[in-house]
């Protein structure tokens, strides 16, 4: 079934992340970037902002951000990095901080992250470290960043020992999720972001998952109403969990559904671009449901339904055949043991008693996970 793209513009939706005196808004919808100047002006001590982006995003979207600030008289100071997951490194973090220091940035300045999850993560970490904390604003340009990484204050860089191992919780002042910025994304990037949208339905909203089964193609076609609803619903779901558990001591861990498997896949592949984060998460969610089914914890019908929906939207749901690798059960389990919350040969996994019924399985036995992965990888 082909989805038609509507040309009408949906009104903006505002989602608030309720964190008392650190609360902030997420503006969602077509043209949301037009609100940046009005929202930014009260934050500024002097008429300038620092903008961190990557070379691809700067080429495509710099004029959009400049236009949004044109009437404010604000000067923009830009720094661009190479695109890709490998940009989240210590060396780049040091370079960003040196750029800010050289320009005499202080805690009264604002640093804007214009880009996807990589730029958002490293920008947030740099902002948290700069003179013990400068303000920053997220302007995510990918679907994945709009529905996940730009919201909630997780910031990080990667190390050879794992993804996001060095980081901090540091909240932005504002998130602008302008769905018009998604129109330049390749279809593959949209699908990768869509995986994170599916995640929210699988965590605790079976009605949203059912809506996605019917409307997923319209979301991926950037139908105005469908994409705004999907992004706003996802942000609202994440905002509620973050407000309950900002520092991931409890319920926030549910947002890691698919990520323990997914991060291991990414690390095993050296964070190469032939396996995007969202693609790894899609595989990881399918694995989590199938592992649960193999242990009698998840209804097989629900595991099959998840796999079927991922396949229907063009996402991978299994490791064999996926680009990158090679992947072995032993290597994946070794990487899972490096999970930030692993201990004593056991790792907390986010599993599900059904669609919309995810829970924290605190002490998954990695020997059982290894046997499951050997079966998935056709090693046995």
User: Above 50 in pLDDT, residue 4?
Assistant: no
Rounded Cα distance between 167 and 162, Å, is 12
- Encode pLDDT of 26-48 as tens digits: 999 999 999 999 999 999 999 99
Catalytic residue among 79, 259, 309, 322: 259
Same domain as 167, residue 53: yes
Where is the domain boundary, 144, 159, 184?
184
Where is the domain boundary, 184, 200, 226?
184
**Residue 190: inside a domain, yes or no?**
no
User: Above 70 in pLDDT, residue 206?
Assistant: yes
Residue 259 designated active-site: yes
pLDDT the model gives residue 301? 98
Where is the domain boundary, 135, 168, 184?
184
pLDDT the model gives residue 26? 98
Catalytic residue among 92, 158, 256, 269: 256
CB 185 within 8 A of CB 143: yes
Residue 263 designated active-site: yes
Same domain as 282, residue 369: yes
pLDDT the model gives residue 2? 44
- What is residue 30's three-state secondary structure? coil
Catalytic residue among 85, 248, 279, 376: 248
**Residue 70: inside a domain, yes or no?**
yes
CB 196 within 8 A of CB 281: yes
- For residue 281, the number of C-alpha atoms closer than 13 Å in the C-beta half-sphere is 22
Residue 248 designated active-site: yes
Rounded Cα distance between 319 and 322, Å, is 6
pLDDT the model gives residue 3? 43
pLDDT the model gives residue 272? 86
Closest CA to 378 of 336, 338, 340, 326: 326
Residue 229 designated active-site: no
Same domain as 162, residue 279: no
Mean pLDDT, residues 282-298 taken together = 98
pLDDT the model gives residue 91? 97
Same domain as 264, residue 171: no
Which range, of 67-76, 196-205, 266-275, 363-372, averages the lowest pLDDT? 266-275
- Name residue, tokens 């998954």: 364
Number of separate domains in the chain: 2
Provide CB contacts within 8 A for 240, sequence distance 6+: none
Mean pLDDT, residues 70-88 taken together = 94
Same domain as 319, residue 177: no
Rounded Cα distance between 131 and 123, Å, is 14
Provide CB contacts within 8 A for 168, sequence distance 6+: 124, 125, 128, 129, 155, 156
**Residue 241: inside a domain, yes or no?**
no
- What is residue 277's three-state secondary structure? helix
Chain centre distance of CA 213:
21
pLDDT the model gives residue 1? 41
User: Above 80 in pLDDT, residue 111?
Assistant: yes
User: Above 60 in pLDDT, residue 60?
Assistant: yes
**C-alpha to C-alpha distances, 251 to 66, 143, 169, nearest whole angstrom:** 39, 24, 16
- CATH number of the domain at 30, please: 3.40.50.1970
Same domain as 311, residue 177: no
pLDDT the model gives residue 323? 67
Looking at the chain, the whole-number percentage of residues with pLDDT higher than 70 is 95
Catalytic residue among 64, 238, 305, 309: 238
User: Above 90 in pLDDT, residue 7?
Assistant: no
Mean pLDDT, residues 247-257 taken together = 92
pLDDT the model gives residue 346? 76
Same domain as 166, residue 67: yes
Q: Which residue has the higher pLDDT, 231 or 2?
A: 231
**Residue 96: inside a domain, yes or no?**
yes
**Residue 22: inside a domain, yes or no?**
yes
Same domain as 180, residue 40: yes
Residue 154 designated active-site: yes
Q: What are the helix (H) ranges across the chain?
A: 36-40, 55-69, 90-102, 117-129, 143-144, 187-204, 206-220, 224-244, 259-268, 277-294, 300-312, 329-336, 366-376
Read off the pLDDT band of 160 (50, 70, 90): confident
pLDDT the model gives residue 11? 80
Same domain as 263, residue 178: no
pLDDT the model gives residue 6? 42
326 cis-preceded (ω within 30 degrees of 0) = yes
**Residue 45: inside a domain, yes or no?**
yes
- Encode pLDDT of 291-324 as tens digits: 999 999 999 999 999 999 999 999 999 997 666 7
Mean pLDDT, residues 273-284 taken together = 93
Catalytic residue among 79, 277, 309, 322: 277
- What is residue 169's three-state secondary structure? strand
Catalytic residue among 30, 135, 229, 252: 252
Residue 256 designated active-site: yes
Catalytic residue among 79, 154, 236, 309: 154
Q: How many CB atoms lie within 10 A of CB 102?
A: 8
State the distance between the two ends of the chain, measured CA to CA, in whole angstroms. Answer: 38
Same domain as 179, residue 35: yes
Q: What is the mean pLDDT of the chain?
A: 93
Same domain as 261, residue 180: no
Same domain as 283, residue 146: no
Which range, of 5-14, 212-221, 288-297, averages the lowest pLDDT? 5-14
Catalytic residue among 64, 199, 263, 309: 263
**Residue 250: inside a domain, yes or no?**
no
Catalytic residue among 189, 196, 279, 376: 196
User: Above 60 in pLDDT, residue 5?
Assistant: no
> 96 lies in which domain range?
13-184
User: Above 90 in pLDDT, residue 331?
Assistant: yes
- Encode pLDDT of 117-132 as tens digits: 999 999 999 999 999 9
- Name residue, tokens 């992965």: 373
Closest CA to 53 of 136, 130, 133: 136
Rounded Cα distance between 155 and 136, Å, is 12
Q: Which residue has the higher pLDDT, 97 or 378?
A: 97
Read off the pLDDT band of 347 (50, 70, 90): confident
**Residue 240: inside a domain, yes or no?**
no
Angle among Cα 34, 39, 42 to the nearest 5 degrees reads 145
């Amino acid at each position: 079934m082909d989805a038609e793209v509507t040309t009408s513009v949906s009104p903006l939706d505002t989602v608030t992340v309720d964190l008392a005196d650190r609360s902030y808004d997420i503006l969602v919808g077509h043209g949301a970037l037009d609100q940046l100047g009005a929202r930014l002006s009260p934050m500024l001590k002097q008429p300038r902002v620092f903008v961190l982006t990557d070379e691809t995003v700067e080429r495509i979207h710099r004029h959009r951000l400049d236009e949004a600030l044109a009437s404010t008289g604000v000067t923009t100071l830009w720094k661009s990095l190479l695109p890709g997951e490998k940009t989240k490194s210590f060396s780049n973090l040091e370079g960003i901080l040196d750029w800010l220091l050289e320009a005499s940035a202080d805690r009264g300045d604002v640093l804007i992250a214009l880009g996807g999850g990589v730029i958002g993560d490293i920008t947030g970490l740099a902002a948290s470290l700069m003179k013990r904390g400068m303000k920053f604003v997220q302007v995510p340009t990918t679907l994945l960043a709009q529905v996940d990484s730009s919201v909630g204050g997780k910031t990080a860089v990667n190390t050879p020992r794992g993804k996001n191992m060095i980081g901090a919780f540091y909240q932005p002042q504002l998130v602008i999720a302008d769905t018009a910025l998604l129109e330049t994304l390749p279809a593959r990037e949209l699908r990768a972001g869509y995986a994170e949208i599916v995640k929210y339905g699988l965590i605790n909203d079976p009605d949203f998952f059912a809506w996605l089964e019917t409307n997923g193609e319209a979301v991926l076609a950037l139908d105005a109403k469908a994409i705004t609803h999907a992004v706003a619903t996802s942000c609202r779901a994440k905002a509620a969990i973050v407000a309950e558990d900002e520092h991931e001591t409890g319920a926030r861990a549910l947002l890691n559904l698919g990520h323990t498997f997914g991060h291991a896949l990414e690390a095993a592949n050296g964070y190469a671009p032939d396996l995007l984060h969202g693609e790894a998460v899609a595989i990881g969610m399918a694995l989590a449901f199938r592992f649960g089914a193999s242990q009698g914890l998840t209804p097989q019908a629900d595991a099959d339904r998840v796999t079927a929906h991922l396949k229907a939207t063009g996402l991978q749901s299994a490791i064999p055949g996926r680009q990158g690798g090679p992947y072995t059960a032993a290597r994946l389990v070794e990487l899972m043991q490096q999970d930030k919350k692993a201990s004593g040969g056991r790792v907390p996994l986010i599993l599900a008693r059904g669609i919309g019924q995810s829970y924290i399985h605190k002490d998954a036995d990695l020997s059982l996970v290894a046997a499951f992965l050997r079966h998935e990888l056709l090693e046995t």
